[in-house]
């Protein structure tokens, strides 16, 4: 079989660092390729690094077919779950993967609850419509954090980094140059300031994050004395909580829209049934 390397699948998960790749190569040269490569037909799904090393050195390897894949989304979800369970994946990478999983499941849910036009057309042509697939369950932020072995605050910050951070800042947090917390703070700055800080290096990124936190603290109203004991310690937690409130508000609005869409769909189905009249 000619194995096909799909570049999109190969790039779907962040590549190994040079040090990690060298360690894997030494292991394969010493012990052989112990884990089978996972295929979908003839497309390579898991084991791109092992495949490349074996090809380079002319080493044998085994393959296994994954017969349950029905679509590229199934492949993506499987790849995400595999990497979420690996210890070598960083906190930031796990958060990004968990957010990707949520997007896929949300899209599937939207498709499952879309307009029943196909079902109506099948009924009009006296065909028996296929039973609709059950919608994917909603993924809560807490469930997302648990899947990624992160706190809810960390998930909020990673989502902010993905949406607002310049590529240079994302590269810095991926490389471990700055923390997730610092990167989320820097992501609040205009893009040109983010790039300048990232170009200047680790110390300037830290200083930029510090300036953002201090500005937020000065702009925030002073809490009442009675609330002081309940406030979480540290500027980082306060910033994360503010971001979380904003994101949860947006999430709540999106859920309300989904409910309204479902209600409208049910009303259309009821009206279609009523228009057909009693069977003869």
The residues that bridge with 46 in the sheet, in sequence order, are: 38
CA distances from 195 to 14, 90, 106, 132, 163 (A): 22, 23, 32, 48, 15
161, pLDDT greater than 90: yes
Rounded-to-integer distance, Cα 137 and Cα 120, Å = 25
Average pLDDT over the chain, rounded to whole?
Answer: 81
Rounded-to-integer distance, Cα 178 and Cα 172, Å = 6
Q: The domain at 1-67 falls in which architecture?
A: Alpha-Beta Complex (3.90)
- pLDDT class of 110 with cuts at 50, 70, 90: confident
- pLDDT class of 224 with cuts at 50, 70, 90: low
55, pLDDT greater than 60: yes
Q: What is the 3-state secondary structure (H, E, C) of 84-127?
A: HCCCCCCHHHHHHHHHHHHHHHHHHHHHHCCCCHHHHHHHHCCC
143, pLDDT greater than 80: yes
- pLDDT class of 86 with cuts at 50, 70, 90: confident
Rounded-to-integer distance, Cα 88 and Cα 66, Å = 24
Q: Token digits for 37?
A: 């490569």
pLDDT for position 145: 87
What residue spans define the domains of the chain? 1-67
């Amino acid at each position: 079989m000619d194995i096909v390397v799909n570049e999109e699948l190969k790039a779907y998960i962040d590549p190994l660092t040079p040090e990690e790749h060298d360690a894997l190569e030494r292991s394969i040269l010493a012990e052989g390729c112990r884990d089978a490569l996972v295929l979908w037909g003839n497309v390579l799904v898991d084991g791109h690094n092992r495949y490349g090393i074996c090809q380079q050195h002319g080493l044998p390897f085994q393959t296994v077919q994954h017969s349950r894949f029905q679509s590229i989304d199934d492949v993506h979800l499987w790849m995400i779950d595999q990497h979420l369970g690996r210890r070598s994946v960083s906190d930031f990478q796990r958060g990004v993967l968990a957010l990707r999983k949520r997007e896929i499941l949300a899209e599937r849910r939207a498709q499952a609850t879309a307009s029943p036009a196909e079902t109506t057309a099948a009924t009009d042509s006296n065909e028996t419509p296929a039973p609709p697939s059950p919608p994917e369950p909603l993924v809560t932020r807490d469930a997302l954090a648990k899947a990624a072995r992160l706190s809810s605050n960390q998930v909020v910050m990673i989502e902010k980094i993905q949406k607002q951070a310049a590529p240079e800042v994302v590269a810095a947090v991926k490389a471990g140059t700055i923390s997730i917390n610092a990167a989320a703070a820097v992501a609040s700055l205009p893009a040109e300031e983010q790039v300048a800080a990232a170009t200047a290096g680790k110390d300037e990124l830290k200083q930029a994050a510090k300036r953002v936190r201090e500005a937020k603290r000065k702009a925030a109203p002073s809490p009442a004395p009675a609330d002081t004991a309940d406030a979480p310690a540290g500027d980082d937690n306060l910033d994360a909580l503010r971001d979380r409130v904003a994101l949860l508000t947006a999430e709540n609005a999106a859920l309300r829209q989904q409910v309204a869409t479902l209600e409208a769909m049910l009303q259309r189905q009821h009206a279609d049934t009523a228009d057909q009249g009693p069977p003869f």
